[in-house]
A and B are shown apart, each in its own frame.
Chain A
């Protein structure tokens, strides 16, 4: 992976002339068309746009869970383009935290076990893993719910556990796909407060996809996509 490392000065995220085409049978469906985007270190960026504009696809490329048809994606100093699936998995476990719209906690695990999950891929001892997971839960204000299962938590609490899971490995980049899309306004505000805290106090670079203008207003910058092209 060392050969693909790029100087950090290129920014936290650098998307260069990326095309993404999906194939349905023999039909080509272009989603991103020569898109370029730079997200500086410590930036909180909101990606907006109508459904089908390619926001989530772009986010997936940045998170390393999908690969571009052409172009280059550099995140946290690593060019993701040439990485194999296994290398991408390893990279994700160390460099990026993902926050989903529907939290996606593992139902059979309690809060602290869910947060601990990414740490299972590290060399940390059981005790260290547990301590870090509890610290992450403390940061999101849910230390007292560590033994609760997802079904015993409210939507806002579940999303906070999911955020704790995203930050527990201390990634430099957080990507969030409509993190407030399934929450009431109060819970949404709490989640956005948390994200702002991670951005301001912990220097995390955040790329957030949202439809919600109020959520987007919390970001430093807002970019709009239309039909796979950035318009602003």
Chain B
């Protein structure tokens, strides 16, 4: 600690250089933290899917509906214990920027198959007995200030669901979840009775997706194949996959998203590494004479090297902490940004976690260490007589 003032004073001397390096480092850490947060939120959402649930959809496109009769056919396949229609409604509340997921489901089956959606008994009863009823997630209720008994009108942008006027829903329940048992459960969605949609559209719509619950999660692959094979020769062949796989494909490019974001993060980190290493090299080169003096006074080469490395590490630490502060602030603000915020709200795990913050600081320290490594080795090797001769 007694050498700390020496390190700090050097950083303060060239404060513009120090500040710009710290800012560069902080931008890098900020970016890494934000990217990792998004990746982690996406993964969190994907992993939240149950391993017992398969999603059956049209083989060609999600935009195509499956015939209603498919529900019975799938339910009859051995190993399938329950089924539920889950159709993406695409309803808009007043303005497209008020985006949130709203899905038509079969309430009884839905509550059986999705135990993470938890409702008080009275609200459950109300929803089951009300064709026009809907349940909304706690966060969605908070977002729009909706209460039980409120009427919510949504108009779908999907042509078959457009009936010339908005659908009117009555909020029968506000669902919550047990975060410990069901981490990642989405509380930003709305579910309403498929029957309402079916009747209002003149019984012309089919099934968007069909959730099939199976008895043995380890047989998910076999079951998916069995379901798809049973519709192979029909007009509407199906594509069945686990809920996790379905979500991954639904979150466009989710598979490559992490790789892409990580590559961006690594590219930025490498650039900042070069910038910081350059800064440290200049700092050490400027101080050749001073390093020689310190060694003349009795400072060992190891101590001199440690002082240079400490400077680099301190730059890294300051950049890291600043970057985390930026990231924390920006992530908090992002969810309020129009459109982007609507998408991000779909990821229940969004937020700067302590693990990602620690990763940010660790990364910053590593960058500092790497940036200071060669300059500190140069300082370690500097020969007193040669450095003094350069005066």
Which one of B2, B289, B295 contacts A65 once the chains associate, using CB atoms below 8 Å?
Answer: B295
Question: Which residues of B sit under 8 angstroms from A21, Cβ to Cβ?
Answer: none
In the complex, residue of chain B having the shortest beta-carbon distance to the beta carbon of A89? B300
Q: Are B385 and A66 in contact (CB under 8 A)?
A: yes
Q: Does B335 contact A (CB under 8 A)?
A: no
Binds B, one of A43-51, A116-124, A189-197, A199-207: A116-124
Interface centre among B290, B294, B298 (most CB of A within 10 A): B298
Q: Are B301 and A86 in contact (CB under 8 A)?
A: yes
Per the bound structure, the CA–CA distance linking A113 and B13 in Å amounts to: 15
In the complex, residue of chain A having the shortest beta-carbon distance to the beta carbon of B11? A108
Per the bound structure, the CA–CA distance linking A109 and B294 in Å amounts to: 13
Q: Are B2 and A126 in contact (CB under 8 A)?
A: yes
Q: Does B10 contact A (CB under 8 A)?
A: yes
In the complex, residue of chain A having the shortest beta-carbon distance to the beta carbon of B8? A108
Interface centre among A63, A86, A107, A121 (most CB of B within 10 A): A121
| Shortest Cβ distance from residue A92 to the other chain B in the assembled complex, whole angstroms | 5
Question: Which residues of A sit under 8 angstroms from B289, Cβ to Cβ?
Answer: 104
Q: Are B297 and A117 in contact (CB under 8 A)?
A: yes
Q: Does A94 contact B (CB under 8 A)?
A: yes
Interface centre among B2, B297, B302, B391 (most CB of A within 10 A): B297
Per the bound structure, the CA–CA distance linking A106 and B5 in Å amounts to: 13
Q: Are B9 and A89 in contact (CB under 8 A)?
A: no
Q: Are A108 and B2 in contact (CB under 8 A)?
A: no
| Shortest Cβ distance from residue B288 to the other chain A in the assembled complex, whole angstroms | 12
Q: Are B295 and A89 in contact (CB under 8 A)?
A: yes
Q: Are B12 and A98 in contact (CB under 8 A)?
A: no
In the complex, residue of chain A having the shortest beta-carbon distance to the beta carbon of B295? A89
Q: Are A104 and B293 in contact (CB under 8 A)?
A: yes
Per the bound structure, the CA–CA distance linking A60 and B387 in Å amounts to: 13
Per the bound structure, the CA–CA distance linking A101 and B296 in Å amounts to: 14
Q: Are B385 and A106 in contact (CB under 8 A)?
A: no
Question: Which residues of B sit under 8 angstroms from A89, Cβ to Cβ?
Answer: 295, 298-301
Q: Are B293 and A106 in contact (CB under 8 A)?
A: yes
Q: Does A85 contact B (CB under 8 A)?
A: yes
Question: Which residues of B sit under 8 angstroms from A66, Cβ to Cβ?
Answer: 384-385
| Shortest Cβ distance from residue A106 to the other chain B in the assembled complex, whole angstroms | 6
Q: Are B300 and A108 in contact (CB under 8 A)?
A: no
Give per-residue flags for B1-28: 1 if the beta carbon is below 8 A from chain A beta carbons, else 0: 0110110011011000000000000000
Per the bound structure, the CA–CA distance linking A229 and B37 in Å amounts to: 72
Per the bound structure, the CA–CA distance linking A139 and B301 in Å amounts to: 31
Q: Are B299 and A121 in contact (CB under 8 A)?
A: yes
Which one of A60, A90, A106, A113 contacts B300 once the chains associate, using CB atoms below 8 Å?
Answer: A90
Q: Does B330 contact A (CB under 8 A)?
A: no
Question: Which residues of A sit under 8 angstroms from B302, Cβ to Cβ?
Answer: 86
Per the bound structure, the CA–CA distance linking A118 and B296 in Å amounts to: 10
Question: Which residues of B sit under 8 angstroms from A91, Cβ to Cβ?
Answer: 298
Q: Are B298 and A90 in contact (CB under 8 A)?
A: yes
Q: Does B267 contact A (CB under 8 A)?
A: no
Per the bound structure, the CA–CA distance linking A85 and B305 in Å amounts to: 14
Q: Does A93 contact B (CB under 8 A)?
A: yes
| Shortest Cβ distance from residue A170 to the other chain B in the assembled complex, whole angstroms | 13
Give per-residue flags for B362-391: 1 if the beta carbon is below 8 A from chain A beta carbons, else 0: 000000000000000000000011001001
Given A100-B388, A102-B391; A109-B299 close (CB under 8 Å): no
Per the bound structure, the CA–CA distance linking A65 and B105 in Å amounts to: 84
Give per-residue flags for B181-219: 1 if the beta carbon is below 8 A from chain A beta carbons, else 0: 000000000000000000000000000000000000000
Q: Are B301 and A109 in contact (CB under 8 A)?
A: no
Q: Which 9 A-B pairs have the closest CB atoms?
A: A93-B298, A108-B9, A65-B384, A89-B300, A92-B298, A108-B13, A104-B293, A118-B297, A66-B385
Given contacts A65-B295, A89-B298, 19 further A-B contacts (CB under 8 A): A66-B385, A85-B300, A85-B301, A86-B300, A86-B302, A89-B301, A90-B300, A93-B299, A94-B298, A104-B289, A104-B292, A104-B391, A106-B6, A106-B290, A108-B10, A108-B12, A117-B6, A117-B297, A118-B297
A-B contact pairs, 20 of them (CB 8 A): A60-B384, A85-B300, A86-B300, A86-B301, A92-B296, A93-B297, A98-B296, A100-B293, A101-B391, A102-B391, A104-B289, A106-B6, A113-B5, A117-B294, A118-B297, A118-B298, A120-B2, A121-B297, A121-B298, A121-B299
